[in-house]
Amino acid sequence: ISAHTLNDYKQNRFFGLDIKTWSKEGIVDEIVAYPWNDLPVDVDWFVSVVDTAKTKLYIEMMPRKMSPEQYRAKAIELYNKGVYGLSFWDTNMRHTRLKQWSMIRRLGHKDMLKQWDDGNSSLFRIIKIRKINNYRTDKYSPGDCY
């Protein structure tokens, strides 16, 4: 059982979510902390109340738009604090940005994070196509095509 929870003790308690008891009693297998109302997740509080022997702790990676380096640095920081894994709500909003997606898809490899770059040229290439059979593809933006 996975529980998608709110950002801190106060918010979770207000809505009757007792993270500490759930974890202590092994009621849930996974806790995902989400930055409710755009407030930051209190990672230190979650780490202190989640019994990692019984429950895996995941933190939602927000904001959705970050540079590859920001994703990498944030992941390293969270892993160093004791978080088991990362969560990505609305991945459909992330995968279209190749440099971001190149990093996001590798963030689960905790032992390799410190050596990675954004992946440009090694994991993907961007090739601008200007013409296909004498048809100009760069005249209009993709949203204006027919």
| DSSP secondary structure, 20-87, as one string | HHHHHTT--SEEEE--GGGPPP-HHHHHHHS-TTT-EEEEE--SS---HHHHHHHHHHHHHHT--EEE
pLDDT given at position 104 = 85
pLDDT given at position 59 = 97
pLDDT given at position 61 = 94
pLDDT given at position 50 = 96
Which tokens belong to 74? 């944030």
pLDDT given at position 128 = 80
Is the Cβ–Cβ distance between 45 and 52 less than 8 Å?
no
Q: Within the chain, what is the greatest distance between any pair of CA atoms?
A: 67
What's the number of CA atoms in the CB half-sphere (13 Å) around residue 140?
Answer: 6
How confident is the prediction along the chain (146 residues), in pLDDT tens digits per residue?
999 999 999 999 999 999 999 999 999 999 999 999 989 999 999 999 999 889 999 999 998 888 889 999 999 999 999 999 999 988 777 666 777 888 888 899 898 888 877 666 566 677 788 888 888 877 766 666 55
